[in-house]
Structure 1
């Protein structure tokens, strides 16, 4: 082929028309940006854990923006909810649909590995965004989750000490025990409390669902916790909503990801802060890597930290 998404052929996009459509069929949501001139070899599938969390929507927006610049097709074909079987189906559909590359945020390191191995064997290029699986890939673009989790813990300790609280129980709400990115965040968070007098309770899992996570947080609150950590968007939203519903102003809530709901909870004082990732950057860099790989460039399995910011009430 002449080359997939060569930038020199897409430098002037002032007259281009981009079409974006959203359709839902069965368990998947699909958003596609198809710039003129892209061939089937330049088709890229973006498969995230679900299609609802603002984190993934923002990632898709970054990917679509980069796809338009490069003149390639990116299709957002993610499950409506976090489900291994649905994510495997998405991978298989991408292979059957003739996609040359898959950008994937894996639900867990092993759950979809077999499907990804089959895709790779079929010649499909694999690039990880946010969360990798245990299958070799061209490149990975994600947050240094363990470091960011430790920062979250340090922020909570600082706030507790400023409030004169130097001991007490702390609840942890995670997605599940398998999602690599969230497991690393929890490990980092817990490491921040080494040598302190705080007690971190047994982790509870809410599958990233805000309502389930709120119920978990409410149970923690009845146990008298002094702080709650949410490992992703749904977990954080649930924790903040539970603290809000409790009427307690002395529980420190810290979480991960940025959404309108989380930012509102921070502004209203029900969450201290959140670790904001850069999913748009993951999406942009993921598309670049897919195009490079499709053009024959060896990326060497590079792992790139896309950064994190601590967002607090202004």
Structure 2
């Protein structure tokens, strides 16, 4: 098995595609495991980077792993980090229902979990569940979309992975705003599973079936980028596209006059908050806050896109 190791400030991070062997870590406050979906999506890479940096700052080693949105792989990774005796687990999970057992398994082994970005369908299992206010953020994005569309026209929706609670919450937030405008007509809606490649193909099909599409609202920036690439290839740069996440790629597109807007959810800050709460819990047995915590999102458009850097607003 190939094991790729990379150093982070003050510690060692193991980036693993599968299951880790037993690793020997330097003495310190211990090891914090950071488990997210694939770093091919810059949002999840920002989470891992933010958590690893905070862990190093607080004197921990960081073990960075990727579950690729595969609940079985996630369960195996939990077995590995439990066996390694980590002090805590920071998790962006592989399914709201499917992840409960893994988090419970860690709890039973005396290892606390701190969830970011995605909730699970149980309380009292994880210590913290820190998520963006996806409904509030989706409403912000939808309000901007309606304004850009002039409150009228045919539009399509790209929906995220169906097993991810956030996909449904964002879609509901979009529709609770857009459906108030009778001249806004949704002519197509389909999942692209958070994937840029899949969104490109889906957008091609949507455009062929509905050449009158004037706008596309997307459940995340990765799908928005795929849709925009398909629209560019078809010579349809007149179509209004709005995403969700606040990625640097979409920032750059906005600044070039391509995609029109996105909604920033603070991935880096959220991951750092989870590590800080893990440290508090390890040290004192309590985070001092409620298990479920919401962080508000921020609309990003041409007015403030230049301030966006790695899922955070600067200055």
Give the TM-score, by structure 1 length. 0.83
* Cα displacement (A) at 1:129: 0.5
Structure 2 matches for 1:79-158, cutoff 5 A? 79=67, 81-136=68-123, 137-158=126-147
Unaligned runs of 5+ in 1: 1-15
1:26 aligns with 2:18: yes
Counterparts of 1:76 and 1:23 in 2: how far apart (Å)?
Answer: 5
Does the CA contact (< 8 Å) of 1:170 and 1:226 recur in 2?
yes
CA distance in 2, matches of 1:207, 1:309: 23
- Displacement of 1:20 in angstroms is 4.6
Post-superposition Cα deviations, 1:78-105, rounded to whole Å, max 9, x if no partner, equal 13x3322222222222222212211111
Shift of residue 126, structure 1, vs aligned partner: 1.5
CA RMSD of aligned residues (A): 2.4
Answer yes or no: is the 8 Å Cα contact 2:28–2:61 preserved in 1: no
What's the secondary structure of 1:192's corresponding residue? helix
Could you tell me whether the CA contact under 8 Å between 1:176 and 1:207 is conserved in 2? yes
Q: Paired residue for 2:52?
A: 64
Query: Which of 165, 168, 185 is the equivalent residue of 1:180?
Result: 165
Distance 2:116 2:137 in 1: 16
Q: Choose the corresponding residue for 2:202, options 204, 209, 216.
A: 216
> Secondary structure, in 3 states, of the residue corresponding to 1:142?
strand
Query: Equivalents in 2 of 1:36, 1:232: separation in Å?
Result: 40
Closer, same or farther in 2 for the Cα pair 1:313/1:95, shift >3 Å? same
- Structure 1 segment 283-302 matched on structure 2, within 5 A: 283-295=271-283, 296-297=285-286, 299=288, 301-302=290-291
Alignment match, 1:238: 226
- List per-residue Cα deviations over 1:119-162 (Å, max 9, x = no partner): 2122111211111112332122221001100111110100111x
3-state SS of 2:65 partner = strand
Note closer, same or farther for the CA distance 1:148–1:17 as it changes in structure 2 (3 Å cut). closer
1:159 paired with 2:148, answer yes
Q: Which residue of structure 2 lines up, in the alignment, with residue 10 of structure 1?
A: none
Determine the structure 2 residue equivalent to 1:196: 181
* CA distance 1:195–1:309, shift in 2 (3 Å): closer
Query: Structure 1 CA distance, aligned partners of 2:40 and 2:19?
Result: 12
Query: Counterpart of 1:254?
Result: 242
Are 2:269 and 1:277 aligned? Answer: no
Aligned length: 287
- Quick one: distance in 2 between partners of 1:191 and 1:112? 29
